Amino acid sequence: MRTPRRILATVALAAILSARADVVVVVSVRSPVQSLNAQQVEDIFLGRTRAPSADGPLEPVDLAEGSADRDDFYRRTAGMSATQITSYWAHMIFTGRGTPPLEIGSESAVRQLMSRNPRVLAYLPRKDVDDTMRIVFVPR
């Protein structure tokens, strides 16, 4: 009897993980940025660099703290948990070495901001990407 439970638990876990595995990094189609690599994405979202575009530096945008997509994004790109990200930014702010990305509460709000500002760099579930956005990186 334990074997069917284990199989069911494994299938359920795989379904949960695959549902979150589709977060992608996007820019506006109006942005000149065509692609980014893993190190560039990590550096931009952790405030280590402000990668330039033709219109000025890219402006990273985070989903709301506690969002499963946000947690998954940072785990996949920086190898950091939500707690580690919070601690990282607390340290950066305290030492005056950086400020965290602008936090936006929802995917639709990210979409609206991106429509007004072609320098926005964001991550969204692939299902929320529309024809006004370009995927520039897919976290592994």
Q: What DSSP string runs through 58-111?
A: -EEEEEPTT-HHHHHHHHHHT---HHHHHHHHHHHHHTTS--PPEEESSHHHHH
pTM above 0.85, yes or no: no
Q: Is the pLDDT of residue 87 over 70?
A: yes
Tell me the per-residue pLDDT of 89-124, one tens digit each, with 9 for 90 and over.
999 999 999 999 999 989 999 999 999 999 999 999
Residue whose token pair is 């660099």: 49
Q: Is the pLDDT of residue 35 over 90?
A: yes
Domain segments of the chain as ranges: 22-137
> What pLDDT shows up at residue 27?
96
Q: Is the pLDDT of residue 8 over 80?
A: no
Please state which CATH number belongs to domain 22-137.
3.40.190.10
